A = this chain, B = another copy of it.
Amino acid sequence: MTKPQLEFFYEFASTYSYLSAMRIEALAEAAGVEIAWRPFLLGPIFKAQGWTTSPFNLYPAKGRYMVRDIERIAAARGLSFKLPDPFPAQGLHAARLALAGLDADWTPAFTKAVYCAEFQRGANIAEPDVLAACLREVGADPASAIEAAASQPIKDQLRANTDAAIRREMFGAPTFATADGELFWGDDRLDCAIEWARTAAA
């Protein structure tokens, strides 16, 4: 029997996506749910709303709250948290690389490596050296991964993920999408999303 699937739409600049990426595999495994990793870009979605940067920069009180909220949650989960500078990071190349890893199956490990570089060590994930180190960390060959990430099929795939997010009315990250059309937005909805995917398919 095929496992029920849950689509995990994440943006590399997104702090709450970091929280979900670090725990989604264990939760999905325990529930017998398969995760489809869907890196996408929030930029076009925010731009369509008239935003030129993260809402955490547009609304500074919300941004300060977000940092404290994530510090508390990360601490409770044994994770550290540091906001990188600049924030939000440009996650385009990280997202294309994550897509390039799907066939060889290093996408989850690479995604977590990038989030740890970004939100634990404060690295700028727009820098090629940072991304190359993440690729090496997960056993991928940087040269061939970077070449694949620059190919037209991968560019098209990232655009398709972002277009799917727009079409399905996503407005933030992480967003979890079930096969029967439900959306769950935010790390605090991850458990419900997995439970929905599990029981809807049962």
Contacts and interface: CB of A to CB of B under 8 A. Distances in A.
Interface of A: 49, 59, 61-62, 64-65, 68-69, 72, 169-172, 182-186, 188-189, 192
B169 A64 contact: yes
B49 A171 contact: no
Nearest to A51: B59
A86 B182 CA distance: 26
Contact of A171 (B61, B169, B188): B61
Contacts of A171: 59, 61-62, 65
A185 B69 contact: yes
Given A72-B192, A192-B72, A61 B185 contact: no
Contacts of A49: 59
Contacts of A184: 69
A160 to B, nearest CB: 19
Given A62-B172, A65-B183, A72-B192, 16 more contacts: A49-B59, A59-B171, A61-B169, A61-B170, A61-B171, A64-B169, A65-B185, A68-B182, A68-B183, A69-B184, A69-B185, A69-B189, A72-B182, A186-B188, A188-B188, A188-B189
A72 B171 CA distance: 19
A68 B49 CA distance: 21
A102 B59 CA distance: 33
A171 B55 CA distance: 12
A192 B68 CA distance: 13
A184 B72 CA distance: 10
A161 to B, nearest CB: 17
Contacts of A64: 169
